[in-house]
Each structure stands twice: as C-alpha cells, then as structure tokens.
Amino acid sequence: MTGNDSLRLDGAGDAAAPAEANRGGDKGLDARLVVDRGAFRLEAGLRARPGEVVAVLGPNGSGKSTALRALAGLESLSSGRILLGGRDITVAPAERRPVGMVFQDYLLFGHLSALDNVAFGPRCAGAGRAEARALAAELLETVGLADHAAARPRALSGGQAQRVALARALAVRPRLLLLDEPMAALDVHTRASVRSWLRHRLAALDYATVLVTHDPLDAMVLADRITVLESGRVVQEGAPGEVAQHPRTGYVARLVGLNLYRGSAQGTRVRVPVSDGFGAAEISLPQRWEGEVFVAFPPRAVALYRERPDGTPRNLWRLRIDGVERFGDQVRVHLVGAFPLLADITPEALAELRLAGGMEVWAGVKATEVRCYPA
Ligand SMILES: Nc1ncnc2c1ncn2[C@@H]1O[C@H](COP(=O)(O)OP(=O)(O)OP(=O)(O)O)[C@@H](O)[C@H]1O
C-alpha cells in the first residue's frame, strides 16, 4: 500500500452483501480448489454470484495467482471442483471455459489493432469476421476506446491497453471474469482513473468477477467481498468494511492499518502473549469482556513519549523503535518489544521528540480507542 492511499473503512459493499446460503448460486461461481505445486498446497473455497466482485488478497506466495490460474484452467486441480453457471468445468480445457482473463502477463498482440485484439476471441470461437469485428467495435465503445480501434498496442497508453485487454476478456462473453493485478503496471494517476472506471463497469456487468490484487485500496473500492489467502488457505472472508473493522490476522490488520492482537480477556484487561513467548503484556479495554478476543486500535491513536508521561494513559508500554517511514502526511513509526506496534505521528512530533531507530520510548493508547471483539 502506498502512503498516499487511504482506505475507506465505512462498510462499503455491506449493503450489497448477499444471503450467505445463496452465494455462488446456480449461475455464479462455486469452487473448491485444491492445487499442489511442489511443497505448496492451495486449499481454498471461492464463490461469487453474477454481478459480484470478489477480491482475493494475500501476501506474496499465498496462492492468489495459483487460484486464478486454476479457475482459468491453466493449472489442474489435485481435488475439488469448479461449478460455473451450474456447469461443472473442473476438467474443461481453458479454451472451453466461459472465462475472460486479464492477466499481467497476458499481453495484447502487438501486430494486431485494438479492434482485432478484441475480435480475436470470438473469431477463435467460430464467429465470422464481420460479426466478430462488430462485437469488438461495440466493446471498444463500452470501454471508451471507439476512437482507438485502429491503433496498435504500442500507440496506446498503459490505461488504454488495460481497457483493451478488458474488452478482449469480455468479448468471449464470459460468465466469470478473472483480473490479476489489472492495475499493477499503471502509474498513480492512471491507476486512479482506471480504478474508478472499472468500478462503474464491474458494477454494471452480470458476470462473477474474481480480482487478485496486492493493493487494499483496489480491493476496498472494487470488491463486494474480500477473501484473504495466507499460505494457501482462506484466513478471512467478508464485505470490505467488515474485514477492515474486524481483521483476524496480523497481515489483514497491517493491510488495513490497524494494530491487532489476540489475547485472553478478563474484565477490562486483555492478556496478550508477548513475542518472546514468555509472560504476557496487558491491554486495557473500555468495557468488560471475557474469553479469547481480538483487540485492535489504529496507529493514529498511539502517542509516543521519551519520558514516562504523568497522568498516565491506561495503556502504556516501553518499546523500541525499529523503523520510521513516511505515510501520507504522517510518519509511521514501527515499534517492537513485548509486541509489535505501529504509531502514526506528525513529522513535527517526530522532530520534536528527536526519535530515531533503536531508541526506547513509551507508547500510550487511551482505553477508549481500543476495540475488542470475540476471536
Ligand atoms: N511452477 C511452480 N512450481 C512449484 N511451486 C510454485 C510454482 N509456481 C509457484 N509456486 C509456489 O506456489 C506458491 C503460490 O504462488 P502464487 O504465485 O500462487 O502466489 P501469489 O499469492 O500469487 O504470489 P504473488 O503475490 O507473489 O504473485 C508459492 O509458494 C510459490 O513458490
């Protein structure tokens, strides 16, 4: 995530959340994917209704591309099955699947015009030349590139080429659209405009869409639901707002910019096992809880002090500065010790406190800033 991207944590997509039982349904995607790649195993369920955009997020090597390739038929399943539109396509070859793909390495044909790139799929599927080109022209118009039909890919900007790639994916009349980092190659400005364009397009489509991304902002803006993969398994699933509010792993918490800990609550105190495995640190809560819980608070709620402050906030820990980075108009301080902690402070505060890597500081958080939910 770049420092300038801020996340919307307002429950975007909640309103559209479908009934759990209906997800996938007869027309959408309902897949259970088990893929073995050497020592790595992907074992994940993925479902998407027509018109729904599901974003798959996860750290490097978590199996996102493997999942997409399996859905596309470019990777075979060790077990599981893929139902699409009520049809079992588990063993169907890639070219027989009603699946459109926009992959990073799935480039446009350089020797064909934008129009012929888009017409290529329908031609392969048996459409006549005139019919395929008419459909391609219509789709180029849909993606706002009617004027560029004759252009070769090298004459297009990155954003335009992405839109041609999308038109080409749509030309096969897919029931499932697979987008692998569709905006990764774009600069920040093009990215913002393609993201907004894509959001409107995807909302109007009747295909199930699975989008793989590293960028939480893309996921938050584009997706109705988010599936998070870690080490080949689904660790969290839900509407973007729900995932952002209630992260269930450290990766998800960092993704949405939260400090997150798991511990055991007793009254207004949570005991969190410390990093060295011995003992526990304590976090104070604004209300009483019992049992296993997640505790979360945003980095901006953390105040840093060189000396132990008077009028102590109820949560105060002695931690060491591990690193400092620019984060939007704030500075993000990474702290380590009993547990890892992120603090966002102003550049002025950084200068005033004369903070530097390796230094020990006091980190305080008001109990009222701490959110708690069952584990
Ligand atoms: N051809 C291969 N043979 C064996 N293992 C592979 C092969 N390709 C990928 N892997 C392994 O499969 C795992 C999942 O890779 P995959 O590319 O699906 O992850 P990803 O989440 O898409 O990662 P990234 O974000 O880096 O693109 C990784 O651990 C990787 O090392």
- 66 Cβ inside 6 Å of ligand 1: yes
Digit-coded pLDDT (tens) for 100-151: 888 875 578 999 999 999 999 899 888 999 999 999 999 898 888 899 999 9
- Amino acid making up residue 81: R
Residue 9: inside a domain, yes or no?
no
Residues 227 and 339 in one domain: no
Look at residues 215, 250, 285 and tell me which one is the last residue of a structural domain. 250
In this structure, the answer to whether residues 198 and 237 fall within a common structural domain is yes
Ligand 1, atom 10, lies closest to the CA of 37
Rounded to a whole number, what is the distance in angstroms from the first to the last CA of the chain?
Answer: 26
227 lines ligand 1 (CB under 6 A): no
| Residue (of 88, 147, 80) closest to 113 by Cα position | 147
Same domain, 243 and 111: yes
Could you tell me if residue 6 is inside a domain?
A: no
3 state DSSP class of 94:
helix
> Are 301 and 286 spatial neighbours (Cβ–Cβ below 8 Å)?
no
Instruction: State whether the Cα torsion 247-250-52-30 is positive or negative.
Output: negative
> Which of the listed residues 250, 282, 303 is the one where a domain comes to its end?
250
Give the range among 19-23, 26-30, 319-323 with minimum mean pLDDT: 19-23
Indicate if 185 and 261 belong to the same structural domain: no
Same domain, 208 and 321: no
Lowest mean pLDDT among 175-179, 200-204, 255-259: 200-204
Residues 66 and 207 in one domain: yes
> Does residue 193 carry a pLDDT above 80?
no
Q: Which atom of ligand 1 is nearest to the CA of 63?
A: 18
Q: Calculate mean pLDDT across residues 205-218.
A: 83
Average pLDDT score over residue span 33-44: 96
Measured CA to CA, the distance from residue 354 to residue 338 in angstroms comes to: 23
Which strands make up the sheet holding 87-88, listed edge to edge?
A: 87-88, 79-84, 29-37, 40-48, 233-238, 225-230, 53-57, 208-212, 176-180, 99-102
**pLDDT for residue 26:** 61
pLDDT (0 to 100) of residue 56: 95
Q: Quick check: is 321 in a domain?
A: yes
Is residue 122 located within the same domain as residue 234?
yes
Distance 219 CA to ligand 1 centre (A): 20
Average pLDDT over the chain reads: 84
Contact partners, residue 258, CB within 8 Å, separation at least 6: 247, 296, 297, 298, 299
Extract the tokens encoding 55: 């974003």
What's the CATH code of the domain at 354? Answer: 2.40.50.100
- Residue 91 buriedness (CB in 10 A; 0-12 / 13-18 / 19+): exposed
- 129 and 231 in a single domain? The answer is yes
Q: What is the DSSP string of 96-161?
A: GS-EEEE-TT-PPPTTS-HHHHHHHHHHHTT--HHHHHHHHHHHHHHTT-GGGTT--GGGS-HHHH
Gap from CA of 229 to ligand 1 centroid (Å): 12
Domain boundary among 203, 222, 250: 250
* Domains contained in the chain, number: 2
Q: Domain residues for 72? A: 29-250
Q: What's the per-residue H, E or C state across 268-324?
A: EEEEEECCCCCCEEEEEEEEEEEEEEEEEECHHHEEEECCCCCCCCCEEEEEEEEEE
Is residue 284 within 6 Å of ligand 1 at its C-beta? no
- Flag whether 21 is in a domain: no
- Domain CATH for 239: 3.40.50.300
Residue at 2 is within a domain: no
Is ligand 1 within 6 A of the CB of residue 117?
Answer: no
3-state secondary structure at position 344: strand
113 shares a domain with 218: yes
19: in domain: no
- Whether residue 65 has its Cβ less than 6 Å from ligand 1: yes
Q: Are residues 201 and 330 in the same domain?
A: no
Q: Are 202 and 330 in the same domain?
A: no
Whether 13 is in a domain gets the answer no
Residue 335 lies in a domain: yes
- Provide the ipTM: 0.94
Looking at residue 13, what is its pLDDT?
Answer: 33
